[in-house]
Chains A and B, each alone.
Chain A
Amino acid sequence: MQNKIKKLGKSIRKNIGLYVMLAIPLAWYIIFKYIPMYGLQIAFRRFNPTLGITQSPWVGLTYFKQFFDSYYFWDILWNTVSLSLFTMLVGFPMPIVLALIINEIKNLKFKKAIQNITYMPNFLSVVVIVSMLTLFSNRDYGLFNKITGLFGCAPVDFMSKPGYFQPLYVFSNVWQYMGFNAIIYIAALSGVDQELYEAASIDGATRMQKIIHISLPCIMSTIIVLFIMRIGNLMSVGFEKVYLMQNSVTLSASEVISTFIYKNGIQKGQFSYSTAVGMFNSVINFILLVSANFVSKKTTKTGLW
């Protein structure tokens, strides 16, 4: 034991420079990541700014109960979960499909063109994307209405119809991130042993069969790891885009947990209550992540840890 401690001390002394460097980012992690976690206790206290986080009186689970008992609890939960599931169901497979298509295209220039063009929207800001959605939804001259008009549909202001909120959110997400999220799969596909395809050709496999029996299995571990990470974020719908997209008319479909926290916490100053709501959200996320990882490790032996 003593020997071990001595060894450790020696190793630390030898690399003291490394620890000094590390001290700055580590301090950042403690201050900006771990202190807020410590601050989560205000979810169980009636926070009073003059008393501070540690002196405010304990109230137990009052704020959690208040949220669960509120008339809007199920609506907000449903909006969050359904939007997230919808985003995942459409948004997760699309980059894989795109990567497979790109992988099958033989003309190198065309291949490069698809890649470079589909990466582009990734560089636009959320404000710009939502502005485009708003402009395109304009009843009189928006792009969407021009396109639906070609098929004889009556013009609709899509942004002010609750029913269109989720599709607009999800498909604009796919439009923006599909290309960029495909990169990882394209890279994985380029690493597949070409001899596998040749052997399959000799056996008379069609191109579609090669995709299903060679390409897909070869990128499966990448897919699984990304899928687990995605599950861990199932309950966290990006605040920025939802907040910019929502308006008073679509609130019934567009109010999600994160926008609710922003409005009640930062705008109205109900710090304890909104912290409790946020904590409920992150705990569920964490449980989902751990379970997804567990299931994946049992069944496929791939996992995040």
Chain B
Amino acid sequence: MIKQLKYYLTLIMGLVFTQFAQAEEIEMADAMRANGKIYVVVAVIAIIFVAIVVYLISLDRKASKLEKELKEHSES
């Protein structure tokens, strides 16, 4: 009797724990991280951002240049 009870208890506990384990398994992009390919994505996005920043800098310098020219023009 006690042996049987123990058996069922273990079975139920086992079932409950596997359920919990499954619920906690939330899928993440671990494979992408594991094989290192995520760095390729980071590199690509970083390059795009750098390109946009370089363009912003060039616009900023253009504005400075035009401001200077206007100033010289109005002084002369």
A and B from one complex: no
